[in-house]
Amino acid sequence: MAELLRTQARKPKCYLLRPVTFLLIMLILVFFGAGFLSPRSPVLWSRRAGAGEAGRESIGLQVVKLSRMVYPQPKVLTPSRKDVLVLTPWLAPIIWEATFNTDILNEQFRLQNATIGITVFAIKKYVVFLKLFLETAEQHFMVGHRVNYYVFTDRPADVPHVPLGEGRQMVVLEVPASARWQDVSMRRMEMISSFCEQRFLREVDFLVCADVDMKFRDHVGVEILSQLFGTLHPGYYRASREAFPYERRPQSQAHIPRDQGDFYYMGAFFGGSVSEVYRLTKACHQAIVADRANGIEAVWHDESHLNRYLLDHKPTKVLSPEYMWDEKLLGWPAIMRKLRYVAVPKNHREIRNR
């Protein structure tokens, strides 16, 4: 018994917190918790890159204050559009007019401090379309955001001078021409994947790949941006999968059977994060090389391989035909509330063969 008492005597004494000390601690926790944890607080912790390449490599945390915004409340029981599909079966949004709020999206992307790159190929006579493309892009494409225009061309001396807004710049990348327009089209995948590795991964956050023989006619902004997006072909958005012009020959890497397929995507407007665009273009280039080794060329060239890739790797956002339209061929149906990126009338045979 005496030994037990000696053991207990050696143990440290425990004291209960005094009521006043306890209350002070609770008040401090409530005060700081209300400031930093309340959902009403306008403070957001976000990762934001510094300026330049060094800033992209060394990313720190900053406190960013959200501006107070007033906008209509979304209604759970009132869909934004009843006349079109706005969500894919894999839960990717389909972007139509009236399905997004530009002001909210602009605020979110400004917090990300994002830079958007856009690639165009002005090869041979296609350089004549570059001036209109750039002028209309300055009016409608990613207005208010940093943009790098990457112009691939075999005629750098013919690249027009177009005044660009603050934070927007043009980079001319000289590349060789190809004898056939089909080869120019297919080589895009190789060149984009190569330059993703060489510079795009360091210079921009998102990459949009576009055709140059087009013009921007209405707003095209950050609502299109996602990890990986594709655009519905304006000629096939109403068609069944059996009618899609997929590559049907099993010998091709682009082959899609008639009982498969979600949508038919246009090769003239796709993109996403630079890393995802790199994976897409590299995979398509490798498939084109494999087909060439087997003596086969996909029916619609790089577009056929793009559709095969997007069937296997579902896009995280799908753009409606508002973002790729030809009014001369298709008119302006009521379902298209806006025509954003549209074809420029041209003589394909004359342009492609010169």
Note the pLDDT tens digit of each residue in 265-318: 999 999 999 999 999 999 999 999 999 999 999 999 999 999 999 999 999 999
Euclidean distance between the first and the last CA atom of the chain, given in angstroms as a whole number: 108
Least confident of 6-20, 88-102, 328-342: 6-20
Choosing from 138, 276, 303, 322, the catalytic residue is: 303
Annotated binding site for Mn(2+): 211, 213
Average pLDDT over residues 224-231: 98
Nearest to 258 by CA among 270, 249, 266: 249
Please state, for a pLDDT cut of 90, what percent of the chain lies above it: 72
- 96-352 topology per CATH: Spore Coat Polysaccharide Biosynthesis Protein SpsA; Chain A (3.90.550)
Active site residue 303: yes
User: How many other CB atoms are found less than 10 A from the CB of residue 313?
Assistant: 13
Binding-site positions for UDP-N-acetyl-alpha-D-galactosamine: 121-123, 126, 211-213
Q: Strand, coil or helix: what is 202?
A: helix
Q: Are strands 341-343 and 60-65 parallel, antiparallel or unpaired?
A: unpaired
Lowest mean pLDDT among 24-38, 77-91, 116-130, 213-227: 24-38
Within 8 A by CB and 6+ apart from 308, the residues are 246, 247, 253, 254, 255, 256, 287
Provide the CB-side half-sphere exposure for 79 (13 A, CA): 8
Answer yes or no: is pLDDT of 40 > 90: no
272 backbone φψ class: left, alpha, beta (φ>0; ψ -120 to 50): left
Report CA dihedral (254, 125, 338, 107) to the nearest 10 degrees: 80
In whole angstroms, give the CA distance from residue 215 to residue 234.
16
- The one-letter amino acid code at 125 reads K
Question: Model confidence at 177, in pLDDT bands (50, 70, 90)?
Answer: confident
Give the whole-angstrom CA distance, residue 332 versus residue 327.
Answer: 6
- Known binding residues are 121-123, 126, 211-213, 233, 303, 326
User: pTM score, two decimals?
Assistant: 0.81
